[in-house]
Amino acid sequence: MNTVINPATEQVIAELAQPEAEDLDRAVEAAKKAAPGWRAVGVGDRARLLRRVAALIEENGEELALLETRNVGKPIADSRAEVEMVADCFYFYAGAIDKHLGDTIPVDRGVDMTFREPLGVVGLITPWNFPLNIASWKVAPALASGNTVILKPAEITPLTSIRLGELVLEAGIPEGVAAVVPGPGSIVGQRLIEHPDVAKIAFTGSTAVGRKVMESAAGTIKRVTLELGGKSANVVFADSDLEAAAGSAPSAVFGNAGQDCCARSRILVEKSVFDRFLDLLTEATKALKVGDPENPSTDMGPLVSAEQRDSVASYVDGEVAFRGEVPGGPGFWYPPTLLGPIGNDSRQAREEIFGPVACVIPFEGEEEAVRVANATPYGLSGSVWTRDAGRALRVARAIDAGALSINSNTSVRVQTPFGGFKQSGFGRELGMSALDGYSEVKNVFLSTEV
């Protein structure tokens, strides 16, 4: 039995049967059987079904948002915005699939055409921090491309993924085309990766498990895309709009209580404005409302589990520039915390804390900013704040990460590619790029001589 807990109250909100490896095998068998039929559905009909899923997500938006808030502990305003993005994601891929084009290539004695063919059954393994959102980034492009899918959500936050599975069926997508198997990663996830009838694994989670996914996928030469951890830099130059940079920095690291692979958890500040910036940042952090996630004005809720809270707490000793307050009583709370000035070689600046703890790191000049920003094994996202457009672009291009923002701290849009450099993984989700990851290129030569 899997007992699901509300992290704000520590109360049990659901009890689920625990799927075993054999249940996963049955889901793969059904997905394999359904694959030829789904692949044969025309792109127009597939798009209509995906639009129907999007509409059902909108119709059930409030229920999904509340379910996500109660299961993950994230503020209801954030859950509502995420559910909107989930619907947008299904609309986007409904509209994108007939624009994922092939080529006609001039060759001798005929013509060559390229086609995008589906892979077959694909396994989607998702984490607990943005359960429904990340599920949609994988399910929508995978189905649009003509694959059948098995979604394995994180065991502690499976509820919105299970509901998504129901809505997919309600939309009229045939049985077997999409299944949700919410079992433990070490059993159900592992079996999915090793299963000979699964063509690809799209994984989001920790770098440590990502490494295991690659190793286990080698046995069947499975396609793999990995979206892993991050330790992103938010680089603030002295000539930037300091009020805007400091005002937006807290949401970039304390959003989702810091449990965000894109968190700008290293705030690099040019020495000449360091003290002023730290004052502004402290004021903006103090203003965050930490508390009941179901209150629409809450900015930050609890962490997802006691284990995650204890892991975050183990990083905080010395160098505390500011520590916020949290509610008393039940719940896995940890206060928004600023560490600084702190060096980039400290353990706190090197490792992904995955909680509301930001390292504020001084630097001198553009060259040092780029060197420090890149001094990490990760490369997922990052920001550059400056009024000098040339420098903004130079620094954004020089940082080895997949999603950079200039004078902004946002990373994720349905229309644009998202993914990592270095140990943050490979492959791209969202935008047209995701469709490449759910299809194989085939070339067909047509002789003009016969």
Q: Are 124 and 147 in contact (CB under 8 A)?
A: no
Give yes or no: 227 in active site. Answer: yes
Burial code of 410-442, b = ≥16 C-beta within 10 A, e = fewer? ebbebeebbbbbbbbbbbbbbbbebbbbbbeee
Quote the DSSP letter at residue 219: G
Quote the DSSP letter at residue 418: B
Helix axes 159-170, 43-59, angle to 10 degrees: 130
Nearest residue to the partner ligand NDP, using Cβ: 185
Which C-beta is closer to ligand NDP: that of 190 or that of 240?
190
Which C-beta is closer to ligand NDP: that of 97 or that of 353?
353
Shortest distance (Å) from residue 113 CB to ligand NDP: 38
Q: What is the length of the chain? A: 450
Strands 439-447 and 381-385: unpaired
Q: Which of 68, 82, 155, 227 is catalytic?
A: 227
Give yes or no: 261 in active site. Answer: yes
Shortest distance (Å) from residue 286 CB to ligand NDP: 26
Radius of gyration of the chain (CA): 23
Cα(388)–Cα(274) distance, integer angstroms: 19
Sole residue written with tokens 């704040």: 385
Shortest distance (Å) from residue 380 CB to ligand NDP: 8
Cα(37)–Cα(149) distance, integer angstroms: 13
Which C-beta is closer to ligand NDP: that of 184 or that of 335?
184
Strands 403-406 and 266-270: unpaired
Q: Which of 261, 262, 359, 366 is catalytic?
A: 261
Which C-beta is closer to ligand NDP: that of 69 or that of 308?
308
Which C-beta is closer to ligand NDP: that of 89 or that of 369?
89
Shortest distance (Å) from residue 128 CB to ligand NDP: 5
Shortest distance (Å) from residue 109 CB to ligand NDP: 48
Shortest distance (Å) from residue 182 CB to ligand NDP: 8
Q: Are 322 and 285 in contact (CB under 8 A)?
A: yes
Which C-beta is closer to ligand NDP: that of 38 or that of 354?
354
Binding site for ligand NDP (CB under 6 A): 125-129, 152, 154-155, 184-186, 189-190, 193, 204-206, 209, 212, 227-229, 261, 352, 354
Burial code of 250-266, b = ≥16 C-beta within 10 A, e = fewer? bbbbbbbbbbbbbbbbb
Shortest distance (Å) from residue 412 CB to ligand NDP: 11
Which C-beta is closer to ligand NDP: that of 206 or that of 346?
206
Q: Please report the beta strands in 314-374, taking only residues with DSSP state E, as ranges in sequence order.
A: 320-323, 337-339, 357-363
In terms of Cα–Cα distance, which of 367, 368, 320, 340 is closest to 266?
A: 340
Could you tell me which residues are beta bridge partners of residue 235? Answer: 268, 384
Q: Please report the beta strands in 257-407, taking only residues with DSSP state E, as ranges in sequence order.
A: 266-270, 320-323, 337-339, 357-363, 381-385, 403-406
Which residues carry out catalysis?
227, 261
